[in-house]
Structure 1
Amino acid sequence: MKKTAITFLIFTQLILLSSCNQGKAADEVKGNEKITEVKIDSVKKKAQATIDTVDYNKRMIALSNNDTTGRWPVKTPYPLPGALLPYNRIIAFYGNLYSTRMGILGEIPREQMIAKLQGEVAKWNAADSTVKAIPALHYIAVTAQGSPGSANMYRMRMPFKQIDTVLKWAKPIDALVFLDIQIGHSTVKAEVSELIKYLSLPNVHLGIDPEFSLKNGHVPGTKIGSFTADDINDAIDILAKVVRENKLTPKVLVVHRFTQGMVTDYKRIKTLPEVQVVMDMDGFGSRVLKRSTYLTYIYREPVQFTGFKLFYKNDNWNNSKMYTPEELLKFTPKPSYIQFQ
């Protein structure tokens, strides 16, 4: 695996560390619902709406591509009604509005970007008519830094006005919004907690990036960071509380990964009815390397759902090409989340 190189964006005299786009190699659409009724003390009461479990199980088996190892589909609690997965496939554009180098979201003008995103959604709908492809804007709301900053946390929180802008862009195309965090020397709990007012909105979900989580004093970008199961569970607990308190449909949590050390103790990652966890293969490189990374760190360490990242520039080099939807649908399991950078 090639050593990670650092891309810096100069912004208000701080260094904005580019996520995933330089030198990193790969190492509410509802489901069917039903209402049941129960009698208690001769008084008829409505039980909570539940998903159609037969349909859900069928869809999960289809996602597993009939895996025979017993790993997939993962046995987890059924989600609350209104869950996005496995009924939909999320097609996301990733980036930051202050940078043209961190991803397609921010790299090109809004109208051009939206049209391109809708084109990718159409390709996935054509490739798989059994799972509806839906658009998403995946915005890096907390960026790791090469300098400590005033809080000595090696991270920068983007102004809320930028998140508001992304929400406005998402509305006309009925897109989901993901807020992504790179914690630097901070913690998942601290950074996610700052975004609760946005996560309390029905269409806003969360991404967390262990690459820039440095626990031993290292500067982000000088080495690849990591999350423990406890770090990821902190995000899950916060999201579950937001769902319960606001009576929302389940939140999606995307966890980026492209090395073994980026996520530890994966078997202890919680699975709850309120949160759907996507482990996203986040590296770039040759097609063989990317497939191998997906097999080694995503397929062999199952959590719940899977994702796959595609790089418009870094995957199209040295006679290599990005995977097509038809090719990715042959993977085991089929990814439920596709991110473009």
Structure 2
Amino acid sequence: MRPARPKVNRNLALGVGLAVSACLVAAGCGDGSAEIAGPQAQESPATQAGPADQGSPESQPSQEPSADPNASPNADTNTDPSTAPSASAQGTQGTDTDGTEASPQASSSNPADPSATATQELPRGGTELFPRYRLVGYSGGAAEAFGRLGVGDMQARVDEIEKLGKKYDGDGREAQPVLELIATVVQASPGKDKMHRARTSDAEIGRYLKVARQNKALLLLNIQPGRADFLTEVKAMSRWLEEPDVGLALDPEWAVGKKETPGRVYGHTSAAELNQVSLWLDEFVAEKQLPQKPFIVHQLASRIISDVPELRPRKNLAFVISVDGIGARKDKEDTWRTLVKPLPEGIHTGFKLFFEEDREHGKLMTPEQVLKLKPRPGYVLYE
């Protein structure tokens, strides 16, 4: 089974061009954290990066990471959150100037009692995701190459998700549509702060949230941190996480060490770091009296997350490990069994399918085949 993602690694080069373009047309970039503006935020096609903006082939990461994703990580693979530079915590936030876009509500000056129950509901009712719902969605971002969600008209993609969701509700669970937006995008270029990541502008996030709300869908913010630590990047999105219909997804495949380059090696995280992030988010949800929030962690192979049995479920989070193996059906099912076996009780499962990469090895798995997995996944994502 091929663990690498050539298409995604090519996106690293594309991400560099997008970040450069965004700095030209959006406010910010002065603190060293590049900002990615969406199509509506860019002034003209002339400012958009193309192949010529991506640098020479020698400056780009290799098509596949050179490291074996199942090999033991070295000591430098994971960034220690306590030593992350403060510059990466500040970021550059875009300004919503279009009144038609969704925007986060202002933070309350009087934090809620952490022991209080949720006062807001999920898009389609209730305050808990599981076992009532099965999340079904697309992932993508500022460029079509990032995934199906960013291809063409966004409403058309949501309509596809709704139709697809009906094929996943045969066991009595309701399908909850999900838009998983890559909100912090890993970069081949280090940027001024050397963190190898760029944050999507508030205007672009608001554009996705507007469509999600029009369709009673959930918006998930996907974090590819590069050399930054997860908690810093998650806190940078806190104004959006205050919303009852915005969740979080972490992609440790792109979490590399201080001396490593994304795309040349596989990233890695630990149960300790994930527990740190989930604890912060759990307390945040309780304080803001929000409904249960999806907390997704993508896992390509065993070595991506160390000490998996040490993961801790949280009361206010629907904690999901999404198995992101690529290949033919048999290979994907083998990866599934390997990665779900060590999961502790209370951690839910997810399953990712790739429209292009999986089909290079055979037919795309059908919803009926996905639902035969044991346990049945609570989240099904298509890229």
Give the CA deviation at 1:315: 1.6
Match status 1:274 vs 2:316: yes
Match of 2:199 among 142, 157, 179: 157
1:67-216 matches, cutoff 5 A: 82-96=127-141, 98-125=142-169, 127-128=170-171, 130-216=172-258
Assess, with a 3 A threshold, how the Cα gap between structure 1 residues 12 and 207 changes in structure 2: closer, same or farther. Answer: closer
Over residues 224-255 of structure 1, what are the superposed CA-to-partner deviations in whole Å (9 max), with x where a residue is unaligned? 11111122112202211211111112211100
Alpha-carbon separation, structure 1, partners of 2:19 and 2:199: 13
CA contact (8 A) 2:271 2:308 kept: yes
Q: Which residue of 2 aligns with 1:13?
A: 20
Match status 1:223 vs 2:265: yes
CA contact (8 A) 2:139 2:149 kept: yes
CA contact (8 A) 1:211 1:225 kept: yes
Over residues 76-133 of structure 1, what are the superposed CA-to-partner deviations in whole Å (9 max), with x where a residue is unaligned? xxxxx8210121100011010x2110101112222321221111112212x33x1111
Q: Which residue of 2 aligns with 1:329?
A: 371
Greater helix fraction, Structure 1 or Structure 2: 2
CA contact (8 A) 1:299 1:333 kept: no
Give the CA deviation at 1:301: 3.3
Q: Which residue of 2 aligns with 1:258?
A: 300
Give the CA deviation at 1:327: 1.3
CA contact (8 A) 1:177 1:203 kept: yes
Structure 2 unpaired stretches of 5+: 22-33, 37-53, 55-62, 71-114, 119-125
Q: Which residue of 1 aligns with 2:48?
A: none
Q: Which residue of 2 aligns with 1:2?
A: 2
Query: Percent identity at matched positions?
Result: 29
Q: Which residue of 1 aligns with 2:30?
A: none
Amino acid in structure 1 at the alignment position of 2:152: I
Amino acid in structure 1 at the alignment position of 2:300: F
Match status 1:290 vs 2:332: yes
Greater strand fraction, Structure 1 or Structure 2: 1
Alpha-carbon separation, structure 2, partners of 1:340 and 1:246: 31
RMSD of Structure 2 on Structure 1 (CA)? 2.5
Alpha-carbon separation, structure 1, partners of 2:192 and 2:154: 32
Give the CA deviation at 1:283: 2.3
Assess, with a 3 A threshold, how the Cα gap between structure 1 residues 253 and 101 changes in structure 2: closer, same or farther. Answer: same
Alpha-carbon separation, structure 1, partners of 2:221 and 2:178: 11
Alpha-carbon separation, structure 2, partners of 1:133 and 1:277: 17
Alpha-carbon separation, structure 1, partners of 2:148 and 2:64: 17
Match of 1:317 among 344, 360, 367: 360
CA contact (8 A) 2:69 2:266 kept: no
Q: Which residue of 2 aligns with 1:306?
A: 349
Assess, with a 3 A threshold, how the Cα gap between structure 1 residues 294 and 334 changes in structure 2: closer, same or farther. Answer: same
| TM-score normalised to structure 1 length | 0.78
CA contact (8 A) 2:197 2:226 kept: yes
Alpha-carbon separation, structure 2, partners of 1:288 and 1:321: 11
Amino acid in structure 1 at the alignment position of 2:139: Y
Give the CA deviation at 1:216: 4.6
Amino acid in structure 1 at the alignment position of 2:283: K
CA contact (8 A) 2:323 2:335 kept: yes
Structure 1 unpaired stretches of 5+: 28-46, 51-80
Give the secondary structure class of the aligned counterpart of 1:215: coil
